[in-house]
Amino acid sequence: VEKVNNDSKIVELQIGRKLRSDSEVSCRCHLNIPAVIKVPPKLDDGTPFPTTFWLTCPMYSKKIGSLESHGLIKELDKEIGNNPDLKKQWESRQISYKQERDKLETIESGPKASGGVGGATESIKCLHSHTADELSTGENIIGKIVIESIGGFNCEQACINPETIEKNKDWKVVW
């Protein structure tokens, strides 16, 4: 995990809002632009935040949003119910993710983040969070399936110009 000058500004442009806590880049794309950030279990205002790895890459965000809108969460939830090996891998990561997040907790008072990846307990909930986890740790079977479905980083140009810290008007998603 590394922190580099201008990363916070780049991430804020990618996600379209100010960051709510100090975060570190946990994964970069092939163009060296932040793709995933590691977020503490409590935001600066004390709000519990169950998503340790937050996807910032607009290419992956758009592609994964398309998969979600076409029902992939329901499909994978059903597959988890029918495939004991997949269920075991999913449950194992849910447990280890929660344990890893709990170890990051530095503020003992107040409510704590709960659940596994993205705060989920009974179902997948969010493919973005599983993919961010896979990109950062290589330990998330659901994220791996998503990446296999849509491919790796393939932008021809950076989404953000790292010199000017502005959105690249010529950037586009390549399927």
Q: What is the pLDDT of residues 7-65, one digit of tens each?
A: 999 999 999 999 999 999 999 999 999 999 999 999 999 999 999 999 999 999 999 99
> pLDDT tens digits for 107-126?
777 889 999 999 998 999 99
Q: Rounded distance, CA 43 to CA 65, Å?
A: 25
Residue pair 76/123 in contact (Cβ under 8 Å)? The answer is no
Helical pair 127-137 and 141-150, crossing angle rounded to 10 deg: 100
**Maximum distance among all Cα pairs of the chain, rounded to whole angstroms:** 50
Q: What integer pLDDT is reported at residue 5 of this predicted model?
A: 67
Query: Residue 41 in contact with residue 104, Cβ under 8 Å?
Result: yes
Taking Cα atoms as reference points, which of 165, 153, 171 lies closest to residue 55?
153
Q: What percent of the chain has pLDDT over 90?
A: 88
pLDDT of residue 61: 97
Q: Is the pLDDT of residue 2 over 80?
A: no
> What value does the mean pLDDT take over residues 76-95?
97
